[in-house]
Amino acid sequence: MSNDKPNKLDYFAIIMLMLAGATIRLILASKNSLWLDEQTSLFIASGSFGDIISGKGFDSHTPPFYYLVLHLWLRALAPLATSPLFDNAPLFIGSLPTELGLRLLSVLIDTANIALVFLCADRIANKRISRLTTILYACSSYAIYFAAEARMYPLLALQCLITLYIALEARKQLPGPWKLILLLLVGITGMYTHYYYALFLAALSIGLMLDARFARQLFWRWSGTLFIIAVAFLPWLKVVTTLIGSGGQSFRKFLFSVPPYTLFRYSAGYGVFPLRWEDKYNLSVSFTNHATEILLFVIPFSILSLAGIYRILRYSHYRYTILSCLLLPGLIALAISSKIPMLSERYLIVSFPLFLLGVATGTEQTRTFLTKGFLSKGAVIALSLIATSMNFINPLAGFTQWREATTMLASRADLTKDKVIVEPEHARGVVLYYLERDHNLILPRKNDSKTNLNSSTYWLIERLSSTATDKPPVVNGRSAEQSFTFPKENGLRLSRYEQQGRSGNNGLILR
């Protein structure tokens, strides 16, 4: 722990880091197109308060608090849409927010996280380590990736960091009423933001009690607050039970590959070796082909993190708190996922700041034999900056495929006559977002006797998968006249079909 309070130079450096971090996050937030989960965020946040709170209209994989915040954010942002300040970067087009408008909330939240990382690290380690931890978070490709999308992960990280800060303060001084009220508010909103907050809070509480040796007053105050948080979450337990009964997120199949994959994403982010659709179904081959860049990032970050954790375990008064928050959320999720799949490197953002603290601590320990630490610091920061820059210079990084596919569709199709089918059907919202058309544009996938083919031309936008072939599927006995592939991330294919004459079959059938 630092013995000195932050001085003016610290505050100035943090403000500069926040400005730099916000700039990078804003640029990336404007670069990528909307994707399916973000379309879900927009769809839910566009509903009424009652629909959001009840979970109506979505699968309840995540609780509703983020969507409530996004709902309020979009309502507050709408009046600013006509301001001349945003002429070069519009936040709304018509009644719909732009990608930047939708993601700006995440950018601002994660910018605040930069300051919170410093405050937490400063309670645990010395000034050199806390500053380096903050620099690494500000330029982290992993953190920047989630700050540039309209999902709840920066908010989840914010809630975890505030909770961690309260716990670190509680270890030093018994928390008073105001800190307990803050813990209560953050705890309740955290539980209603993401289920992984519960894992983090449990891990943090175990570590705190071990570090404090179950000090009686702290134990009862902390446990009493957790009890109220648990009671406040009871109304949502019915939804959790339904989710458990559904078998969890069945698409998360590669359970034991998630921990090493998370370590790589922690170290390199998503600009280095972005997974394309074909990579996800040939992981061993893909990892072998990209072994150089994987090892370049994983080896140094892993060694430094382990060295840092070892030193924390030996010398820190917060050893169990840090170790629990770093390891237990993932281990608990791994155990649960053996029955109900719910493990993802995205969700493990709850432990990411502690990973960076370990890296920074390990880096500082090399100062006795590597030019007083300057060489190792420079190398770690350089690797982080390289990883971040790959989001912009790697042509395969990012997810622009939905914007590209719909732009091509709009330029080639007569949308007043042609029909469009989207596969899978839940992706139709993304297409409608970019085409700004009503639902009559989308032709159902399955045969529907109420749907008439009034046009001779129809288009298929399909997401590629392991079963996808080099050629588009046959539709109503006809092959595609044209086909265009957009390979980024999950990958898309746009195909055009011509119908000659009328048949008795009024719907589209894919074979």
DSSP letters spanning 313-376 = HHH-TTHHHHHHHHHHHHHHHHHHHTTS----TTGGGGGHHHHHHHHHHHHHGGGGTTGGGHHH
Residue 238: what pLDDT?
81
C-alpha span between 365 and 369 (Å, rounded): 9
Does residue 268 sit in the same domain as residue 147? yes
Residue 253 contacts by C-beta under 8 Å, 6 or more apart in sequence?
A: 341
Task: Tell me which residue of 355, 311, 306, 307 sits closest to 329, measured CA to CA.
Answer: 355
In a domain, 124, yes or no: yes
Domain that holds residue 455: 401-498
| 186 and 233 co-located in one domain | yes
Q: 36 with 166, same domain?
A: yes
On the CB side of 322, how many CA atoms lie within 13 Å of its CA?
A: 28
Q: What pLDDT is recorded for position 341?
A: 74
pLDDT of residue 253: 56
pTM reported for the whole predicted model: 0.91
Element (H, E) at 492: strand 492-498
Same domain assignment for residues 360 and 450: no
Domain assignment of residue 3, yes or no: no
List the 482-486 sheet strands across, edge first. 419-423, 457-463, 492-498, 482-486
269 located within any domain: yes
Could you read off the pLDDT of 454-507 as tens digits, one per residue? 557 888 898 886 555 567 777 666 778 888 988 877 788 999 988 654 444 444
Same domain membership, residue 478 and residue 330? no
DSSP 415-429: TTT-EEEEESGGGHH
Q: Which two tokens stand for residue 377?
A: 């610091």
Is residue 45, in this structure, part of any structural domain at all? Answer: yes
3-state secondary structure of 37: helix
Q: What is the pLDDT of residue 509?
A: 46
Q: At which residue do the structure tokens 């601002």 appear?
A: 108
- pLDDT at residue 264 in the model: 93
Specify whether the CB–CB gap between 489 and 401 falls below 8 A: yes
pLDDT of residue 229: 97
Residue of 169, 121, 142 lying closest to 357 (CA atoms): 121
The answer to whether 146 and 346 have CB atoms below 8 angstroms apart is yes
Number of domains in the chain: 2
312 and 431 both lie in a single domain = no
Q: Which residues of the chain fall below pLDDT 50?
A: 250-251, 369-371, 447-453, 501-511
Cα three-residue angle 147-148-154, rounded to 5 degrees: 20
What local confidence, expressed as pLDDT, does residue 257 receive? 79
Q: Whole-angstrom Cα distance, residue 162 to residue 168?
A: 10
Q: What is the pLDDT of residue 245?
A: 60
Residues 332 and 411 in one domain: no
Residue 160 lies in a domain: yes
What is the spatial distance between Cα 184 and Cα 152, in angstroms, rounded to a whole number? Answer: 20
Last residue of a domain, one of 344, 362, 393: 393
CA 404/CA 418 separation, integer angstroms: 19
Could you say which of 393, 415, 449 is where a domain stops? Answer: 393
Average pLDDT of every residue of the chain? 85
Residues 425 and 332 in one domain: no
- Of the three residues 347, 366, 393, the one that is the final residue of a domain is 393
Q: What pLDDT is stored for residue 371 in this prediction?
A: 43
The dihedral region occupied by 209, where left means phi > 0, alpha psi between -120 and 50, and beta the remainder, is alpha
- In this structure, the answer to whether residues 386 and 303 fall within a common structural domain is yes
